[in-house]
Structure 1
Amino acid sequence: MSAMGCDEFVEQVTAYLDGALDTVNVNRFTGHIADCDGCEVYLRQIRVTIAELGRLPGPGLADRTTATLLAAFRDRSANETPSEGSQDVRGAGFPGPLSGSS
């Protein structure tokens, strides 16, 4: 088993964090960070970056787009008869504009 160098370490960080490395490469990876302070810091920075990015809100829709979509769904619901086997959920206790009580 050959030692992992810093370049390979950087290439394998994502696979390591995703749990995609086999046992041999996990051992090489963890062995490298045990001996390399710089890569240990790099791994911590990547983990912090992932955590911070996970806190960001997802992309939202512009207000105009949201209004257009809701109007289209309302129009479709008003003009459509529920098909056999489906349920009409309007007024079924769902909050908001899709409940039929806007």
Structure 2
Amino acid sequence: MNRDEVRCRDVVALLTDYLEGALPVEDRVALEQHLLTCEGCTAFLAQLRTSIALTGALDQEEVAPALMDAVLALYRQRQST
């Protein structure tokens, strides 16, 4: 994948691997080039990092099961679009 091939939809699908350091170098570079020019994707990445930081501070017992189910449903819906 090169930087001209990266679209915003691709970014959403790749961000988890990007944050985990699991992207191949070529894909990581293409993604980072896209982030340099796309404010929307850069903002989404910042939101994702904030969400990870905040939820990482929670204990599982602090999250109501219904809330966890709702969050997971939203995540799955976002991944499928």
What is the TM-score when the length of structure 1 is the normalising length? 0.55
Report whether the alignment pairs 1:56 with 2:61.
no
Q: Is the Cα–Cα contact under 8 Å of residues 11 and 41 in structure 2 kept in the other structure?
A: yes
Match of 1:25 in 2: 27
The correspondence of residues 57-72 of structure 1 with structure 2, limited to 5 A, is 57-59=59-61
- Post-superposition shift, 1:57? 1.6
RMSD of aligned residue pairs (Cα, Å): 1.4
Report whether the alignment pairs 1:40 with 2:42.
yes
Q: Is the Cα–Cα contact under 8 Å of residues 3 and 33 in structure 2 kept in the other structure?
A: no
Runs of 4+ with deviation above 3 angstroms: none
CA distance in 2, matches of 1:20, 1:59: 30
What is the TM-score when the length of structure 2 is the normalising length? 0.69
Count, aligned residues: 60
Q: Is the Cα–Cα contact under 8 Å of residues 17 and 23 in structure 2 kept in the other structure?
A: yes
1:14 to 10, 13, 16: 16
Render the CA deviation track for 1:12-69: whole Å, top value 9, x for unaligned: 0101001110100000110010010000000000000000001112338xxxxxxxxx
Q: Which of the pair is proportionally richer in helix?
A: 2
Higher relative contact order (CA 8 A, sep 6+): 2
| Aligned partner letter, 1:19 | G
